[in-house]
Chains A and B, each alone.
Chain A
Amino acid sequence: MDLFRQISLKNKIFFSTLAVILLLSIVIALLARWSLVSSLTDGLKQQGLGIAYAVAENCRRHILTENIPELTSLMFDARQGEESLLIAYVFVVDKENRVLAHSMVTALPNQLPAANPIAAESFYSIKALKIHAATVYDIAVPVKEGIYRIGTVHVGLQKSHIDALIGRLRTTFLGFIAGITILFFWISHLLAKQVTRPILQLVRVADEISRGNPDIAPDTDCPIRPRFAGDEVIQLANSFTNMTARLKHTEAEIRRSEDKYRSLFNSGPNPIFVLDKETLKILDANPNAEEFYGYSKSELRDMVFSQLGTFDHDRINQMAHGDTAGPIDCVVMEKERHINKENRWFFVKLKACPARYRDREVIIVAATDITEFIEQEAHLVQASKMTTLGEMSAGVAHELNQPLNAIRMGSDYLKMMVSENRPIPDSDLKELAEAMCAQVDRASRIINHLRNFGRKPDLAQHPVRFKEPIESVLAIIGQQLSLQNIEVQLALEDSLPPILANRNHLEQIFFNLISNARDAIIQSRATTPAARSGVIRIGSFRENDSAVLTVTDNGTGIPEDIRDRIFEPFFTTKDVGKGMGLGLSIIYGLVRDHGGRIDIESETGSHTTFKLSFPLMVRQ
């Protein structure tokens, strides 16, 4: 069947036409020959019969007069002209089958006269005889005088002559078939060619187009309009022309679009990468990427994106293999740390979107350099910390005063005892010394905390439990809180596993939240003079895979309309000069850095709970 399919349409038409014609010709020829051969043989026999009858008519007189020479003359006359080929012999016998005369030049075979007797009731008899290895049709006709036979005339027809005639007929027919075949060979060849030529033309044009040559159009001069190709081909040609025009148009559009996006791609201010969806190999990068990362495009093309830096593979995989029927979800990675060719690292914000790029499923990643931003953020954090630090200084002063006072009292006591020359008992001295040391330690601790807090933090993350940073913060601010009649309640779960976090950042977060809680309580006291005792409850517990810390205050609460805005930088509800409004935004950033989240639950005039969730450290 493959072979059949491979035969061109032209040859299919050609061969099938030829086969049909041949078959028809053969059938017709066979039929005609069969009918003609039989009628030819019959005709010849009739001819022989006619001759026999004529001879018999003429013989009668001479048989009666026993005129042998005249009979002989008749015999020979019957064989004259064209008949001499057909007629092998003519002879006449008397009623005893004795030969009277014959037309042969040799002796008549002995068995011949009696070989074909006529049946009593018949008018003639035709019989095939074999004479000298040749077959002869002997036609016997009686010569009658009255009703009684006086003799018989025999005419022998050469079967070979009949065969020769039939042979000639056969040859004619074969010649006819041959002629027809050749004619139809030629005609069907032409026909097939004519039918398939416009098709071939279109095929050629289609090939050109698919090869990408848009300038080829079906040649309107080509004979798509032959007289006998019919409308179907013209329709095909027209549709084809339309399709080609459409293709050209579409192709032009695509090219324009491509050009547009290419220029966008190339001139975009940010590095843009095109990654293979599965392997995340870099397929393409725009000039800015080259500039930014320091690699040439060909170098980039050899790299996998992860070689450039960090990348949230999980979310990318999810996006890549997610439900593509729904709206395309892009993944935004807020802060990834990337490294350029000179091994200088920087921070980028990445946005990865799935796309179709030249028939491939790709991920387009746009990178925005946020290093400066991060640095600024760090600066801001630091600045905020400084502000906080400033705020804390009052508290610290209070905090430091106590141990200092205690030390003062002790040293005053010693000064007094020494000046009054009163002996100090050893036990009192020891107690005093211990008390004074303890106070010094306490003061040192406070100062250390302060110093630690103010220090620019390292960015490393370690396994940290909530307990320690909170205790550190409370060590700084606890006294202040109690002075302001704010009770701190701790409900920390000890068995809570650690999280991977930066200790300093956590302290900053907690400090900020506790500060805000304090402020909220103080504000509530301003509005509701009933000096309610403020409570800040700090709790921690495990929730699924997260460690949760809650800071609840019974302050003013956060109205719903500003609940979304509080994390905005420079958004503050405080009066001008009292805080920059950076705290919560920095907290938000810090929490996010740790992969955590902040939730707020608040009721105006009642309470506010900040809920921080951090992912638990995954044990390796």
Chain B
Amino acid sequence: MRFRADWNGPKRFFPLLLGFLCGVLSCFSSEDAPTIPESIAGVSDTQIMVGASLALTGHASYLGTQSLQGAMSYIRHINELGGIYGRSITVIAHDDGYDPSRCLANTQRLIIQDKVFTLFCYVGTPTTLKIIPVITEARIPVVGMLTGADALRSPVNRYLINVRASYYQETGAAVGHMVGDLGIDKIAVFYQYDAYGFDGLRGTELALKQYGLVPVAKGTYIRGTLAVEKAMASIADSGAEAVVMIGTYDLCANFITLAKHRGYAPLFYCVSFVGADELARRLGADGDGVIVSQVVPPPRQPPDASPLWGIAEYTALLSKYYPESLPNFVGMEGYLNARVLVEGLRRAGRNLDREGFIDAIESIQHYDAGTGTPLNFGPADHQGFDRVYFTRIENGKFELITDWRGIPRKAGSMETPFQALNDEKSGMNGSVQANKP
């Protein structure tokens, strides 16, 4: 038997084997996902259909109605000017009563039956959070939401376009002022027991953590109820020097009133969603000293004209289309939402489709909306404004806080330790810039 040299057979066979296996494996490449047809629903030659589901009735109806009015003021104004490329914007608004389920059903209806082009001007955290799956699946954008919830901003969802600053930014700035400027370290949180309240609570706790602090007490209430006694009691008992309130105007007003009756007079601070004007109206004299953070500059009541032309326009248009309503923060938000909507539609051009519309909005940069702060969007930035303003109810009116050291530590008190220094109400430009968290 002659010995045959090894012909490298196994070595030659190896790549062949690999190739065979690769070929087999490639047969199992994933199938193509079914494509959803690119939607130009809601766009006709004459109309652009826009849908909104918001609280028009119920305990948050102020928020819904006022923001819608602010938005509609501007939209009607644009329509009167000829619309956008000859198309007028039609807003279909459904009432969801601040109920997430109703909001979801409304949104489904807006997409499937009403066939709107885009969604617009939603109100509330739990409601808006509920529709994230449906709008993402349907690939329909939502422009302008009256909520500062973190979940809508992070991670960036292509179809969610926020205009206003977030609750994290609001609470963060507030805590910073309270602890840094006022020297308050015993801070309690009063929050609505839902996504909105949790969001605000988280923001506050994150901000406090930066100073090595924790809330000294937490009180909560169920959305839709008015029972705040327990919460108030536990907060009062804790001896908190300031209460961060993440709630709506009715509940917060209740709380503040109850606290005043008890003689508990900490610094009250509410986030913007509270509905500052309504809160002030309900509190009356009890409202003095209450600090509310805002995400828009305070609108001036006529005949006071605001030096910010955006405010001035809103005020003017509101009085034109909704003369019975007074300018307010919530309405201002709605107005600004409409500004973004219209600017996006304009930039998207004549051949309108949803993706192009979103791209158009993302292209808005350093845009002056007349609020003293530019609007900035981008593919990774789906929040137009980063600015937080602080206002304080004084004599039933909201005054912008320009110098925190002049703020009295106790509510209702006009005495400030630094009264002497607080001799000047500075211009509108003096407002607190909050950094994005």
Q: Do A14 and B10 form a contact, CB below 8 Å, given A105-B137, A178-B21?
A: yes
Partner of A132, one of B28, B34, B106: B34
Find residues 255-272 in chain B having any chain A CB closer than 8 Å to their own CB: none
Nearest opposing residue in chain B for A133, CB measure: B34
B47 at the interface (CB under 8 A from A): no
Contact with B along A45-71 (1 / 0, CB 8 A): 000000000000000000000011110
25 contacts between A and B (CB under 8 A): A8-B6, A11-B6, A14-B9, A14-B10, A69-B102, A72-B105, A76-B104, A76-B133, A79-B133, A104-B112, A105-B134, A105-B137, A105-B140, A106-B112, A106-B138, A107-B112, A134-B34, A160-B31, A164-B30, A171-B28, A177-B21, A178-B18, A181-B21, A204-B3, A207-B3
B99 at the interface (CB under 8 A from A): yes
Find residues 194-232 in chain A having any chain B CB closer than 8 Å to their own CB: 200, 203-204, 207
Find residues 152-193 in chain A having any chain B CB closer than 8 Å to their own CB: 160, 163-164, 167, 170-171, 174-175, 177-178, 181-182, 185, 189
B420 at the interface (CB under 8 A from A): no
Q: How far is the CB of A587 from chain B (nearest CB, A)?
A: 69
A145, B27: Cα distance in complex, Å: 49
Are B112 and A105 in contact, CB atoms less than 8 angstroms apart? yes
Are A69 and B112 in contact, CB atoms less than 8 angstroms apart? no
Q: How far is the CB of B153 from chain A (nearest CB, A)?
A: 20
Partner of A73, one of B101, B111, B112: B101
Q: Do A10 and B6 form a contact, CB below 8 Å, given A134-B34, A167-B30, A182-B17?
A: yes
Give the secondary structure class of A's interface: helix
Q: How far is the CB of A378 from chain B (nearest CB, A)?
A: 66
Are A203 and B3 in contact, CB atoms less than 8 angstroms apart? yes
Q: Do A105 and B105 form a contact, CB below 8 Å, given A73-B100, A185-B17?
A: no
User: CB within 8 Å of A: which residues of B?
Assistant: 1, 3-4, 6, 9-10, 13-14, 17-18, 21, 24-25, 28, 30-31, 34, 96, 99-106, 108, 111-112, 130, 133-134, 137-138, 140
A80 at the interface (CB under 8 A from B): yes
Contact with B along A98-129 (1 / 0, CB 8 A): 00011011110000000000000000000000
Excluding A69-B102, A185-B13, 15 further A-B contacts by CB distance (< 8 Å) are A8-B3, A72-B101, A72-B105, A76-B104, A105-B111, A105-B137, A105-B138, A105-B140, A106-B112, A107-B112, A171-B28, A177-B21, A178-B18, A185-B14, A203-B1
A170, B26: Cα distance in complex, Å: 11
Q: How far is the CB of A210 from chain B (nearest CB, A)?
A: 11
Contacts of A73 in B (CB 8 A): 100-101, 104-105, 130
Q: How far is the CB of B24 from chain A (nearest CB, A)?
A: 6
A365, B106: Cα distance in complex, Å: 128
A505, B134: Cα distance in complex, Å: 146
Q: How far is the CB of A200 from chain B (nearest CB, A)?
A: 6
Q: Do A6 and B28 form a contact, CB below 8 Å, given A69-B99, A105-B138?
A: no
Contacts of A11 in B (CB 8 A): 6, 9-10
Q: Do A174 and B111 form a contact, CB below 8 Å, given A200-B3, A203-B3?
A: no
Nearest opposing residue in chain A for B5, CB measure: A8
A84 at the interface (CB under 8 A from B): yes
Nearest opposing residue in chain A for B135, CB measure: A105
Partner of B108, one of A6, A105, A185: A105
Are A101 and B31 in contact, CB atoms less than 8 angstroms apart? no
Contacts of A175 in B (CB 8 A): 25
A181, B103: Cα distance in complex, Å: 57
A8, B14: Cα distance in complex, Å: 18
Are B34 and A68 in contact, CB atoms less than 8 angstroms apart? no
